[in-house]
Amino acid sequence: MVRDLADFPRPVLAALAAAERLLTRRSGSSVVLADPEDLGGSDRSVVARARVARNPFSMPRTVVVKHYIAEPDRDRPDPFHYEVASCQLFTALPADIRPSPEIIAYDPQTRLLVLEDLGRSSTLADKLFGSDAAGAQRCLLSWARGLGRMQAATAGRENDFGALLRRLGERAWRDPVADDARAAIAGLPDLLTSALGVTPSAAAIGQAHATARLLGGTRYRAFSPSDTCPDNNLVTSRGVRFVDFEGGCFRDVALDAAYFRVPFPGCEASFALPDGMGEAMLEAWRDEIVAVWPDLDDPVRLERRLLEAQLLWVWLCTWWLLPRIRIRDCYVGPDAGRSPRISIALTDYWSRLAEAADGVDGLTATADLAVAVTAALRERFAAAALPLFPAFRGAG
């Protein structure tokens, strides 16, 4: 049954009306959108699917409309510009390697995008919170392959991305977490001391400072959505596709590959993966990127870069999350069923870092610090082990 338009939130209807005007101007003939479906969005934007009821040319049968309703922060880059530039970059790629929806039209004045509709697909989060362990494993491997394929396809295209952003009015661009990462490197030692009674050694601080090189102009830079949390990845018949590029940037590929070691760091859905899953994802990812960066096929070189990225993410996540539990040990996200407690997530991050850095030349101080932080978190919060994603909890 088709719902009456009066049933839909006013922002959704406003987004569709703006999209009709944009598509009509673009095609030179009247375009009518019907049967809207609210896809959620955020406090910054409205996202809706609509059927193209009046189609003057060869437009698709359905489209997705994203309307930015919040005004951009004057002190930060406009996420609308980053999303447009990211989608334009991908639309220029051959369809068989395009990792995202194609951009159909956009309007800087109304801050509106019209995108290809990838269909009523599940998200990676849906699979991880479902009951099909084998299906969730396949999707994780597809996500890892898709990440590597996207990085390989965009290597060397950073100048193109910059040119697209300049056309939209952005004068400078960078990884949106870079500033927070540098702040974490500088400020976390004092925070660990005051919050947990753990004082990092000068050597451990120096080893964390060394990871800042991943935030600069390394040889291994490629596009990153920045926010690749499970709910921003669609499971389609063509594999996992990426959506939401409000923080799209170019950065060292190890920073995204470290998600295999620190499952979805900083994301609300940051539960554990089954034993061996991270290694399998790493292999799937590496198969896609070695043609572009053959030296990363060297296990020693790759392992060191991934370990540095893991160290950086653990410091950054602790910088983000530890202040919150000084007041109350709450959940990472607002939904208790889809997030672990902060103390449990942080304990897992640091215990995994302790294990990874143990015995590694030049990271002894990091391993010692990780052991001390893990012990302090367990003593203070009696943190249990991080549970697996629900899809794997009943798997034998």
Contact 233, 240 (CB under 8 A): yes
Tell me how far CA of residue 198 lies from CA of 330, 362, 369, 376, in angstroms: 22, 21, 8, 7
DSSP state of 267: S
Backbone angles phi, psi at 54, to 5 degrees: -120, 115
CA distances from 282 to 73, 143, 145 (A): 37, 11, 9
Distance, in Å, from the CA atom of 114 to the CA atom of 16, rounded to the nearest integer, reads 10
Please enumerate in sequence order all residues whose Cβ is within 8 A of that of 261, keeping only pairs 6 or more positions apart, or say none: 278, 306, 309, 310, 352, 356
Strand order of the sheet with strand 62-68?
A: 32-38, 45-54, 62-68, 112-116, 103-107
| pLDDT tens digits, one per residue of 368-385 | 999 999 999 999 999 889
The pTM score is: 0.93
Q: How confident is the model at residue 10 (pLDDT cuts 50, 70, 90)?
A: confident
Q: Using the structure block, give the residue that is written with the tokens 């540098």.
A: 182
Q: Would you state the pLDDT for residue 283?
A: 97
Q: Is the pLDDT of residue 195 over 90?
A: yes
CA dist., res. 303 & res. 286, Å (int): 12
Cα gap 313→264, rounded to integer Å: 10
* pLDDT over threshold 70, residue 1: no
CATH of 5-116, picked from 3.30.200.20, 1.20.1260.10, 3.30.1490.20, 3.20.20.80, is: 3.30.200.20
Interatomic CA distance for residues 221 and 214, integer angstroms: 9
Query: pLDDT at position 6, please?
Result: 56
**Which CATH fold topology does 122-392 show?**
Aminoglycoside 3'-phosphotransferase; Chain: A, domain 2 (3.90.1200)
What rounded mean pLDDT belongs to the chain? 92
Rg, Å, the chain Cα set: 22
Place of tokens 């997530």: 345
Nearest to 39 by CA among 241, 334, 264, 244: 244
CA distance 167 to 222: 20
- Is a pLDDT exceeding 70 seen at residue 34? yes
Evaluate if residue 95 carries a pLDDT over 80: yes
pLDDT digits (tens, 9 = 90+) for 201-227: 999 999 999 999 999 889 999 999 998
Instruction: Give the type of residue at 289.
Output: I
Least confident range from 27-41, 190-204, 231-245, 276-290: namely: 27-41
What is the percentage of the chain residues whose pLDDT exceeds 70?
97
Among 4-13, 91-100, 358-367, top mean pLDDT goes to 358-367
**What three-state secondary structure class fits 253?**
coil
Listed in sequence order, the residues at least 6 apart from 330 whose beta carbon sits closer than 8 Å to its beta carbon are 324, 341, 342
Q: What is the DSSP string of 56-124?
A: SSS--SEEEEEEE-SPPPTTS--HHHHHHHHHHHHHTS-GGG--SPPEEEEETTTTEEEEE---SPEEH
Our CA angle for 95, 97, 99, nearest 5°, is 95
- ∠100-105-108 over CA atoms, to 5°? 110
Does the structure show a pLDDT above 70 at 2? no
At residue 56, does pLDDT exceed 90? no
pLDDT band for position 394 (cuts 50, 70, 90):
confident
Residue 4 has pLDDT above 60, yes or no: no
Domain borders along the chain are 5-116, 122-392
Model confidence at 326: pLDDT above 90:
no
Between 173 and 97, residue with greater pLDDT: 97
Residue 229 has pLDDT above 50, yes or no: yes
- Per-residue model confidence (pLDDT) at position 284: 97
Distance CA 97, CA 222 (A): 15
